[in-house]
Structure 1
Amino acid sequence: MFRYLLASLLALTLATPAFAADARQSLERFFSEVSRFDARFEQLVINEQDEVLQASEGRVQLQRPGRFRWDYEQPFRQLIIADGQFLWTYDEELAQATAQPMERVLAGAPIMLLSEPRPLEQDFEVSVVGERGELNWVELTPRDRDADFTRILIGMDGDRVGMMVLYDQFGQQTRIRFSNMRINPSIPAATFRFEAPPGVDVIRH
């Protein structure tokens, strides 16, 4: 799932130099100044024929480095937590949880773009795409040609990430739109710890 987790838009127009500078500077400020955020999200997975394969929504909380919580509320309950060492996936309907080492599962995954404090240029070629609607867009192309995704588009809403789109090697894209984002709020440490409810099967890899 995480290898299809981040986002942007199609058919973007070119920006003026002023908007170009603003978009890139806003993105760089976001990654340098934001250590935590709490937001609502809507996620769409779309195939090459522009058909929606999956639509979901929920809440995301993130704390750098290496901690996040994706709480899918609709259409099914699913919880994904990274606690700094392990990635936990809990399926409420199946009453099953799995734990896997983060370094093995998330190496190179797009979610680490948000959760790890490292310069964008270290892993991506960065270029400004332009302004469309209310967002200013920046494109990230992985330097690793064997990456599972071909590019990431990030739409900046002022100094906040408003939307992201990930394009994978198979032509599929995942769009995530953020709303009600709170920057650097106080987030309890327990948010990023998983405790299996009674009766839940826990599988460790």
Structure 2
Amino acid sequence: MTRFSLLALVWVAGSACASPASELQAKLDANPAFQAKFQQTVTDANHKVIQSGSGVLALAQPNHFYWHLTQPDESLIVADGKDVWIYNPFAEEASVLTLDQAIATSPMTLLVHRDAASWQQFDISEQDSCFTIAPKTADSGVQQVSVCFNGNQLSEISLNDNQSNISRFSLSEQKPISADDVIFQFTAPDGVSIDDQRNGAHE
């Protein structure tokens, strides 16, 4: 067997053994930090559109996440590498959780998290450049998350909740950023009530 044939055989064998989780991680690692705009469409169990919106998404490894829905009702989620902030400007309320607490409730955080134990909490499958991430336990508020790629670029995210609603987010205008970008920093505005759930404390 020639050296080229041997290398080709090793490559084919490695590809055949690659799991959906490792394939997903490889695609995420190829584009580790970016910002994009998104268009949101929410449909119910009968495929009827019940809400449309838009906003900005940013991801950066490790553990940096920014989700700003600007229309129709503003809301903000920021993971700064250590804590996760959930801010409701209309109610003037913010909650803060540890990253581990957030991972326990949403598969979305896997997009920026590389802890092997956390990935083991989810089942991951692949079909046609799309990956479905589903929690192994039934107590999550999100049944599953699907992410689709155009090459190595994340192009669409879908969330299925426990009410059978599906939220689809189509991404556009992507640009590279870094994990120390100011977008991943959150400071609660004056007068905002903060629910600190990191240690069971409340402010």
Q: Same fold (TM over 0.5)?
A: yes
8 Å CA contact 2:43, 2:167 repeated in 1: yes
Per-residue CA distance 1:103-144 (angstroms, 9 max, x = gap): 12332512112111367985434232x3xxxxxx42425372
Tell me the percent identity.
23
Residue 146 of structure 1 pairs with residue 138 of structure 2: yes
For 1:194 and 1:59, locate their aligned partners in 2 and report how far apart those are by CA, in whole Å.
15
Letter in 2 for 1:56: G
Deviating more after overlay: 187-196 vs 46-55 = 187-196
For 1:196 and 1:165, locate their aligned partners in 2 and report how far apart those are by CA, in whole Å.
29
Per the alignment, residue 51 of structure 2 pairs with 54
Which structure 1 residue ranges, 5 or more long, are not aligned?
Answer: 1-20, 131-136
Q: Mark the CA change 1:29 to 1:78 in structure 2 (over 3 Å): closer, same or farther.
A: same
1:112 corresponds to which of 109, 112, 121: 109
Q: Mark the CA change 1:49 to 1:194 in structure 2 (over 3 Å): closer, same or farther.
A: same
Per the alignment, residue 184 of structure 2 pairs with 192
Per-residue CA distance 1:79-106 (angstroms, 9 max, x = gap): 2111233221222222222222231233
* Alignment TM-score, normalising by the size of structure 1: 0.70
Larger RCO (CA within 8 A; separation ≥ 6): 1
Deviation at 1:49, TM superposition (A): 1.1
Per-residue CA distance 1:154-183 (angstroms, 9 max, x = gap): 322232111122334443212111111124
For 1:151 and 1:97, locate their aligned partners in 2 and report how far apart those are by CA, in whole Å.
25
Q: Mark the CA change 1:139 to 1:201 in structure 2 (over 3 Å): closer, same or farther.
A: closer
Residue 162 of structure 1 pairs with residue 155 of structure 2: yes
For 1:141 and 1:96, locate their aligned partners in 2 and report how far apart those are by CA, in whole Å.
30
Deviation at 1:58, TM superposition (A): 0.7
For 2:189 and 2:27, locate their aligned partners in 1 and report how far apart those are by CA, in whole Å.
36
* Alignment TM-score, normalising by the size of structure 2: 0.71
8 Å CA contact 1:32, 1:117 repeated in 2: no
3-state SS of paired residue (2:111): helix
CA RMSD of aligned residues (A): 2.9
Greater radius of gyration (CA): 2
8 Å CA contact 1:39, 1:180 repeated in 2: yes
8 Å CA contact 1:27, 1:156 repeated in 2: no
